[in-house]
Each structure stands twice: as structure tokens, then as C-alpha cells.
Amino acid sequence: MADAMTSNAASAPAKTLLLPGDPRPPDLHVDVRTQELQINMGPQHPSTHGVLRVAIWVDGEIVTRAEPDIGYLHRCAEKIGESVSCIQYVPYTDRYDYLAAMNNNLGYCLAVEKVAEVEVPEKAQYVRTVAVELNRIASHLMAVGTYGLDLGAFTPFFYAFREREEILRLLEWICGARLTYNFIRIGGVMRDMPAGWAADVRKFLDVFEERLDEFNDLLTHNHIFVGRTANVGVIPPDMAIRYGLTGPNLRGSGLRYDLRREQPYLLYDRFQFDVPVGTGLKGQVGDCWDRYWVRVLEMRECVRIIRQALDQMPATGEIMAKNVRHLAFKSKPGEGYFGIENPRGELGYYLISDGGANSYRSRIRAPSFCSLSILESMLPGTMLADAVAIIGSIDIVLGEVDR
């Protein structure tokens, strides 16, 4: 038995040990051919943040091509703006970015007021500021909460929605609605702040700052979350400018540009606040984590602005311009563009008036549309699993993309 085993071992061919750097023997060469596979993300995929379809071509786990397919929520919103009066159109603006309806109301009203040369009372401007900054916090809470959910962190979603619920309660108190407000009107606001509302806002701000620290401990600095977002989906500054990015997506690339500071509207030139930018704290400047972090920091700046607005606000004053009579309001002939700092970037309205009650032409510059356009350049070369992180980091709302 021993002799037979020795004989078999002696007759077996000798095995060659392959060392690193050695050429592969011809008999071990394998001709591997791969083929691109097209997959669809959406239009029901939860990571798309709306009714969006992204056609993705992959080679194994690597994305080679991506094409966003939009239009599922198209409602002819701009044409409607030419078919109804300016007063009637204000509620339609709630439906663009339905997570920041106050800001949508404000942008449209400011554009009409610019064309019609309407002077808004100071008290109304302070009330507007408080309302839109509260809505900005609520919008960012939705963005960061659902972003954690996209990447598998379930608990932070409930933390974010707990604070957002308090803001919705405050906004419901002042105007009666929780999501689509129609609170900001041409010439001012719907109503003054009810008794006790400002005090409740201050209480919320005190609690919110403490709970924001809890949220950071839970998600922001979580090593799994950092691993999924740092050095992923990097947008260089020049690329951000080429694609017309604005808001947190632009500032996440290190560019300090905020319309509230660069082209102050309302009373923002009276307030002290910082403009956070991405610094590459966890990875590269302009990565997914930087865009997320800018939104978190902006919520703290919103708290500063609201407190200053409440402190400076006069106790009494008009909340509606005297030269605006809503039932018979007609704009002066002319045209104008007004852009504001929406939570997702520059939201602009371009209006042309022929002197009638309706706008002759109405066009909208939607920040989410520009943010979505960059996906076609960002996704190729990334891992398929990172596509979810990248789409979530640009924080799009399809209502204003499709309009």
C-alpha cells in the first residue's frame, strides 16, 4: 500500500507555485467576456424620492451609464399660471416642492410684487421670514431622515419626524394647513401670528437644538453611515457650476453662495448667520456626506435667523399692503425675475405681465431639475449600491422637476 502511494505521488505532475508578478501559464488563461445589463430604478423604487425612473446600465456591480426619465408628475403648472389670476395661482405653487410650500409661496409672491411694484409692510416681512425658515428646517429634517432610511438606518427617520411634527403643528396653528399652506399672499400674509404662537416657536427652538445633537450622535457620525457616504458621489466645484447646482448641493462642494446673503430679500440683510459649506471633514470635498452635513448645519442657522426675527419684530403693524385689493388685483405691465433660496437651491419665477389679472408668461427655475441633471455624469463608474446614496444626497422633489 505504501509502495503504491509512493509510486502514484512520484508519477503525478509537479505543481508550479505562482508568485505575485509571475506571468500566468497559458493553460490557466481564461477568456472572460462580460455584457452590460440594463436595470430600472423606479418609478416605484423608494430611493428615488418620488415618481422617478432611472435607467441604469451595469457591468457586474459597476454602473456604466445612467439616464433619468422624468415627466410622471407633469401637470402643466406653468401654463396654468397663465390661465388663472395671480391671486388664484398662489395655491398652485404649494404643489411644486410640497416639502417647502412656504418658500414656494414666497418666491411667487415676491416675483409678482416686483412686477406690480407692491410694498410689503415690515411686520409682514418678519412673519414671512419666521414661516419660511421653520419650513426650511422641516424640509431638511425630511431630507436627512429619509437619507438615513435609504442607507438602512431606520431609527433616525423617527427622530427627524418627531421634530418635523412639531413644526407642522406650529404651521397648522398659524394657517390651518400642515403641508400646502397658501399662507403667504401677494402683498403680505394671510393673518398675523396668533397669541402664544411666538412663545411656542421659541420653546421649540430651545428643544430642537438639543435634539439635533442627539441626531448627530445617532446618524451623522455613525461609522457605517460615514462609510456609505464619505468619498462617494464627489461633485467638484467646477462641475457643480457647469450643471447650475445651487443650494446645499452647491455649498456641499465648498462654494459659499446663498441668495439670502448674496442678493438679500425680505429682511435677511438685518440678520447675522453663517453660510455652511462642505470641507471634506469625513472624506473629499463635495461628497455625499458633505452635502448631508451642510443641511444639518443649515438647520442651526435657521434657528439663529428665527430668533433674531422674533426679537426684532414690531409688536404691531400691518400684515398686508394697502394698495392690494385681492378681488380686483391687476399687475402693472412689465416683466421680472425673482429668485429665492429654497431649501433645495435657487427657486426662481420669471413673469411677464400685460397689465391684466393673469400673467402673460410664467416660467419657473426649479433647483431639483438642475440637481437631477447631474446624475448622468455622476453615476457612471460608481458601484450600484452607491447609486442609492448619490440619488438621496442631492435631495430632489419630483413635483418641481416635472411641474
Given this model, what pLDDT does residue 31 score? 61
Provide φ and ψ at 158, rounded to 5°.
Answer: -70, -35
Classified by CATH at the fold level, domain 75-402 comes out as: Cytochrome-c3 Hydrogenase; chain B (1.10.645)
The angle at the Cα of 45, spanning 235 to 36, to the nearest 5 degrees, equals 70
Q: Who's near 174: CB < 8 A, 6+ residues apart? A: 131, 183, 191, 193, 194, 197
Residue 153's CB is within 10 A of a number of other CB atoms, namely 17
pLDDT number for residue 198? 95
**pLDDT for residue 52:** 87
**C-beta atoms surrounding 42 within 10 Å:** 21
CA 118 – CA 120 distance, rounded (Å): 6
Burial class (CB in 10 A: 0-12, 13-18, 19+), 197: middle
Look up the pTM and report it.
0.88
Alpha carbons 350 and 78: distance in angstroms, whole number: 10
The C-alpha cell that represents 127 in the structure block: 412673519
Q: How far is 226 from 162, CA to CA, in rounded Å?
A: 23
Tens place of pLDDT for every residue, the chain, 403 residues? 444 444 444 444 444 444 455 555 555 555 666 788 999 988 877 667 778 889 999 998 899 999 999 888 888 988 998 899 888 999 999 988 889 999 999 999 999 999 988 899 999 999 999 999 999 999 999 999 999 998 988 999 999 999 999 999 999 999 999 999 999 999 999 999 999 999 999 999 999 999 999 999 999 999 999 999 999 999 999 999 999 999 999 999 999 999 999 999 999 999 999 999 999 999 899 999 999 999 999 999 999 999 999 999 998 889 998 877 665 678 888 899 999 999 999 999 999 988 888 889 999 999 999 999 999 999 999 999 899 999 999 989 988 998 8
pLDDT given at position 130:
96
What is the reported pLDDT for 242?
Answer: 94
Residue 324 is predicted with a pLDDT of: 78
Task: Show Cβ contacts of residue 3 under 8 Å, excluding neighbours closer than 6 positions.
Answer: none
Alpha-carbon span 382 to 391, nearest angstrom = 12
pLDDT at 6: 42
Identify any residues that bridge with 351 across adjacent strands, giving them in sequence order: 336, 362
Q: What is the pLDDT of residue 28?
A: 52
Per-residue pLDDT reduced to its tens digit, 158-173: 999 999 999 999 999 9
